[in-house]
Amino acid sequence: MPKLSCLELFTGAGGLAKGLEMAGIQHKAFVEINSDACLTLANNYDNQLIYNSDVRTFKFDQFGHIDIISGGPPCQPFSLGGKHQGNTDQRDMFPYACQAISMCTPKAFILENVKGLLRKSFNSYFDYIILRLTYPQVELKSSECWKDHREKLKKIHGSGKHNGVKYNVTFRLLDAANYGIPQRRERVFIVGIREDLNLEWSFPQESHSLDSLLWSQFVSFDYWKKHNIKPSKFEYLDKRTRQRIDHLLEQPTFFPPHLKPWKTVRDQIGKLPRPDHEGSFNIEHILREGARSYPGHTGSYIDMPSKTLKAGDHGVPGGENMIRYPDGQIRYYTTFEAKRIQTFPENYRIFGSWTESMRQIGNAVPVELGYCIARSLSKVINCES
């Protein structure tokens, strides 16, 4: 059976791209405007696949048949930490993702964005995005504003009469920790399948849970036994988590929760040697000084999943990119550690300065989460083929 082909837009460091590749999908091209990210891609993929280009002027129809379009349109317009300009922000690239889908008419698409896209103030525009992805060939005229275009799409959707390409679009807010990623990372995934294929698909079921982790730490103590360390106290946990522990301890049962425990920072990077200034273990595992804790920036506790790795303002990471030990010590993650927390393979090189590398890593889709979604989707599409 031939591999499904993919055109990826806004590729960044290639987290989603690597996940798709692991699922057996063959990339035809990566479109990415950032030159440092393109260097990263060039050192992990065939250079001929990489187009250091602005998606707004890119010729999407040059590759012939495409099975899947994927990518993460820039999230700053919708980020909780951004200026919240949404569709009025010039960095809103959803219209160009729609244009690519309209021209290539792939069997399916996978798009990813920040949780802020679901903010109430963006409801109208998000509805418009979903409608436009559903009917990508209904063009927005130069004289038309998006609100008028949305009304046109609503009428088409309500009438059920449409002769062009249509997609069955579904979206879900996923927390990466619930899929075995050692990181609390909530992101919106939007998946569309071309309607004429008559395929049924739904998001993969969650496989991991907080209750299972807390059970292994404070009921069975298996977590500490596995790591051969003394159990930590839970004073460092927030009030809600401590209440969940109390609830688990009060349950009159000897049976643990049925899902696997969330993976923690210690699970993922605990066996690595401590970083030093020379990068003795690995060139990406270099100690960076200057980490400090203050309200709202306390770091990620080693015995919990990491907080969401972030690119930060102008590429400078904040407290989310620090590791915190039970004794209160903190330090910055190294690039090598951050890469592991985003589940990149160890031989996957990230290029650029520390701040630029952390920006790329922080903007990436966790590789194994991308793989989980792509594998599920490709199985459905391949059965159709």
Whether residues 219 and 357 share a domain: the answer is yes
| Per-residue confidence band for 79, with pLDDT thresholds at 50, 70 and 90 | very low
pLDDT tens per residue, range 222-256: 999 999 999 988 777 888 888 998 888 887 667 88
Among 212-216, 314-318, 321-325, 370-374, the range scoring the smallest mean pLDDT is 314-318
Q: State yes or no: pLDDT of 91 exceeds 60.
A: no
Q: What are the φ/ψ torsions at residue 9 (nearest 5 degrees)? A: -105, 155
| Per-residue confidence band for 313, with pLDDT thresholds at 50, 70 and 90 | very low
Of the candidates 9, 39, 72, the one whose C-alpha atom is nearest the C-alpha of residue 362 is 72
**C-alpha to C-alpha distance for 302 and 213, rounded to whole angstroms:** 13
Whether residues 212 and 202 share a domain: the answer is no
Whether residues 197 and 236 share a domain: the answer is no
Of the candidates 139, 134, 113, the one whose C-alpha atom is nearest the C-alpha of residue 193 is 134
Is there a contact between 50 and 30 (Cβ–Cβ < 8 Å)?
Answer: yes
Whether residues 82 and 56 share a domain: the answer is yes
pLDDT tens per residue, range 162-183: 889 999 999 999 999 999 999 9
pLDDT of residue 18: 98
**C-alpha to C-alpha distance for 203 and 21, rounded to whole angstroms:** 19
Whether residues 224 and 373 share a domain: the answer is no
Q: State yes or no: pLDDT of 74 exceeds 70.
A: yes
Percent of the chain with pLDDT strictly greater than 70: 92
| Per-residue confidence band for 76, with pLDDT thresholds at 50, 70 and 90 | low
Whether residues 350 and 268 share a domain: the answer is yes
> Count of domains in the chain?
2
Q: State yes or no: pLDDT of 77 exceeds 60.
A: no
Give the tokens for residue 53: 């280009």
Is there a contact between 3 and 66 (Cβ–Cβ < 8 Å)?
Answer: no
Whether residues 192 and 320 share a domain: the answer is no
Among 12-16, 145-149, 305-309, the range scoring the smallest mean pLDDT is 145-149
Average pLDDT, the chain: 90
The CA distances from residue 158 to 101, 195, 312, in Å, are 22, 16, 42
| Per-residue confidence band for 64, with pLDDT thresholds at 50, 70 and 90 | confident
Residue 263's Cβ-count burial label (10 Å; 0-12, 13-18, 19+) is: buried
Whether residues 238 and 378 share a domain: the answer is no
pLDDT of residue 142: 84
Highest mean pLDDT pick, 83-87, 93-97, 145-149, 333-337? 333-337
Q: Which DSSP helix (H) or strand (E) runs through 212?
A: helix 210-218
Three-class secondary structure of residue 176 per DSSP: helix
Domain that holds residue 164: 5-206+366-384
CATH number at residue 329: 3.90.120
Q: State yes or no: pLDDT of 82 exceeds 60.
A: no
pLDDT tens per residue, range 186-228: 999 999 999 999 999 999 999 999 999 999 999 999 999 999 9
pLDDT of residue 211: 94
pLDDT of residue 262: 98
pLDDT tens per residue, range 351-370: 988 889 999 999 999 999 99
Q: Which distant-in-sequence residues (6+ apart) come within 8 Å of 80 by Cβ?
A: 114, 115, 116, 119
Percent of the chain with pLDDT strictly greater than 90: 70
Whether residues 327 and 277 share a domain: the answer is yes
Whether residues 359 and 370 share a domain: the answer is no
The CA distances from residue 23 to 20, 315, 367, 376, in Å, are 5, 30, 11, 9
Q: State yes or no: pLDDT of 33 exceeds 50.
A: yes
pLDDT of residue 75: 52
Whether residues 41 and 179 share a domain: the answer is yes
CATH number at residue 161: 3.40.50.150
Of the candidates 67, 68, 15, the one whose C-alpha atom is nearest the C-alpha of residue 181 is 15
Whether residues 213 and 199 share a domain: the answer is no
| Amino acid in position 332 | Y
